[in-house]
């Protein structure tokens, strides 16, 4: 069955445009409850700080309660926090209202099962199969109840802190934390402060509209400037829902997801905790593959999307993987990507080795990559378009085996991502621009037909 609404990370779109309307959210909640807890149960609902979160929270609360499920309203908490708290509070499933790193006028809804894992494709397809039906309303005696449990977020804070080695704290570290004015704005600074770090918070003043706006993991310039300005040991940038991370070293340089994977993989190899291969994606920098190869660590590439990284990790018995964007999986600690947990693991390596983040990341040399997002009216397989293919083949011949071309539709936005990787940054940028123009032409032709 072809899924109409669920993408790589739940249902997502522009607020007020299908499917992100209150009416659709009500039906989605009703359908999810019928599939995931048909006899009534408990569902945990969390969100980020978007203005539309109030509307969607009310809509899905009504849908769940009408279908007979009890609703626990957590309020703003990172997506991985909801995944953890679903298990901790004994819920049948969880729902998160967030559009992650997207701007505030987007929003989305995604689900976790009772184990804190994202739903299998088969379950999402079954939910979609009910979306053309009205949201169910049970008789009064069978309706669910709703209650607020936002004070329970301290349990998630304690869990994050406990992922550090026993007896370790962060005393002596001066850290800047940028929460993207998003879901982690309360818990992340508190966890670091409770661990005795000297904390400088930025991006921790949400107003409903400023989530991911010039801050967070997708806009690290503010963090870079602040780290250098206050002479911090490191900076941590999360995205709007707290599942992605990039870091900044004491020199003000960005350390991305690939480099963080290298740091953690090398440390895991040294202390014997690394299991199986490290899993990246087709977008992971070739420099990561080379650096891991030098250490004798196997490296596999999955399709873009943390669910595909997780699938390969499970198939091959791995525990560490993720994406260049900073969506990393540390399965020894969590079931889903958790930016704060990843940050704590990197800080633990810094503490144990006495090395700076700059020194730890120096063992991986990043090859120049250039990515262009081509906005389209509707997604299409650009790699199957004959005209685009001709241009791509020409670029690949020019790279002569010393670079890569990746074309893929975004799973969360109406864009085609064009990525070219090679040894010379200028050449890579020109090749990417050439392919992007071919994709723009192909997209325009499709829109006109």
Q: Assess whether the previous peptide bond of 19 is cis (omega < 30° from 0).
A: yes
Query: For the sheet containing 415-421, what is the strand order?
Result: 369-375, 415-421, 404-409
- Render the burial of 32-66: b for 16+ CB within 10 Å, e for the rest: bbbbbbeebbbbbbbbbbbebbebbbebbbbbbbb
**Residue 251: both structure tokens together:** 């020199």
**DSSP state string for 193-260:** HHTT-EEEEES----SS-TTSS-STT-THHHHHHHHHHT-SEEEEE-TTSS-EEEE-TTS-EE-HHHH
CB neighbour class for 256 (10 Å; exposed up to 12, middle 13-18, buried from 19) = buried
Q: Which of 90, 95, 136, 96 is nearest to 115 (CA)?
A: 90
Whole-angstrom distance, CA of residue 16 vs CA of residue 209: 15
User: Is residue 278 helix, strand or coil?
Assistant: strand
Determine contact, residues 95/60, Cβ cutoff 8 Å.
yes
Q: Which of 417, 366, 93 is nearest to 246 (CA)?
A: 366
378 CB neighbour count, 10 Å cutoff: 9
User: Regarding beta strands 278-281 and 320-322, do their DSSP bridges make them parallel or antiparallel, or are they unpaired?
Assistant: parallel
Whole-angstrom distance, CA of residue 189 vs CA of residue 169: 14
100 is an active site residue: yes
Encode 33-77 in three state secondary structure.
Answer: HHHHCCCCCEEEEEECCCCCHHHHHHHHHHHHHHCCCEEEEEEEC
Distance set, CA 78 to CA 42, 186, 340 (Å): 19, 10, 9
Phi, psi of 78 (to 5 degrees): -55, 145
**Residue 58: both structure tokens together:** 């009310």
Determine contact, residues 84/28, Cβ cutoff 8 Å.
no
Q: Which of 98, 100, 324, 325 is catalytic?
A: 100
SS3 content of the chain, % helix, strand, coil (to 5): 40, 20, 40
Whole-angstrom distance, CA of residue 23 vs CA of residue 4: 17
User: Is residue 269 helix, strand or coil?
Assistant: helix
Give the residue numbers annotated as catalytic, written as ranges. Answer: 100
């Amino acid at each position: 069955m072809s899924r109409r609404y669920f993408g790589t990370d739940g249902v997502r779109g522009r607020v007020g445009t299908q499917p992100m309307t209150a009416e659709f959210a009500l039906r989605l909640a009703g359908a999810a409850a019928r599939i995931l807890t048909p006899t009534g149960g408990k569902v945990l609902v969390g969100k980020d700080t978007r203005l539309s979160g109030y509307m969607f929270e009310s809509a899905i609360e009504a849908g769940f309660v009408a279908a007979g499920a009890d609703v626990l309203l957590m309020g703003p908490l990172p997506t991985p926090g909801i995944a953890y708290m679903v298990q901790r509070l004994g819920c049948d499933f969880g729902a998160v209202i967030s559009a992650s790193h997207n701007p505030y006028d987007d929003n989305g809804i995604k689900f976790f099962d009772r184990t804190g894992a994202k739903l299998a494709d088969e379950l999402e397809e079954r939910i979609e199969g009910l979306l053309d039906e009205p949201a169910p309303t049970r008789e009064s005696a069978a309706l669910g109840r709703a209650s607020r449990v936002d004070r329970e977020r301290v349990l998630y804070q304690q869990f994050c802190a406990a992922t550090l080695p026993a007896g370790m704290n962060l005393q002596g570290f001066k850290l800047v934390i940028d929460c993207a004015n998003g879901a982690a704005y309360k818990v992340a600074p508190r966890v670091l402060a409770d661990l005795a770090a000297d904390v400088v918070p930025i991006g921790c003043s949400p107003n409903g509209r400023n989530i991911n706006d010039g801050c967070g993991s997708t806009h690290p310039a503010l963090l870079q400037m602040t780290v250098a300005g206050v002479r911090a040991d490191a900076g941590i940038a999360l995205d709007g829902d707290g599942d992605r991370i990039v870091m900044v070293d004491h020199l003000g340089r960005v350390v991305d997801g690939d480099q963080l994977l290298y740091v953690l993989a090398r440390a895991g190899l040294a202390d014997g905790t690394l299991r199986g291969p490290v899993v990246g994606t087709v977008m992971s920098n070739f420099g990561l593959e080379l650096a891991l190869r030098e250490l004798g660590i196997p490296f596999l590439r999955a399709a873009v999307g943390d669910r595909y990284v997780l699938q390969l990790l499970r198939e091959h018995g791995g525990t560490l993987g993720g994406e260049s964007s900073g969506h990393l999986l540390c399965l020894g600690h969590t079931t889903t990507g958790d930016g704060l947990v990843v940050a704590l693991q990197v800080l633990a390596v810094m503490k144990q080795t006495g090395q700076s983040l700059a020194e730890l990341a120096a063992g991986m040399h990043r090859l120049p990559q250039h990515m262009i997002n081509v906005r389209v009216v509707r997604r299409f397989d650009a790699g199957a378009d004959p005209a685009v293919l001709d241009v791509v083949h020409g670029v690949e011949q020019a790279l002569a085996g010393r670079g890569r071309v990746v074309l893929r539709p975004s799973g969360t936005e109406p864009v085609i991502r064009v990525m070219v990787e090679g040894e010379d940054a200028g050449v890579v940028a020109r090749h990417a621009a050439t392919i992007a123009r071919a994709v723009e032409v192909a997209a325009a032709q499709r829109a006109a037909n």
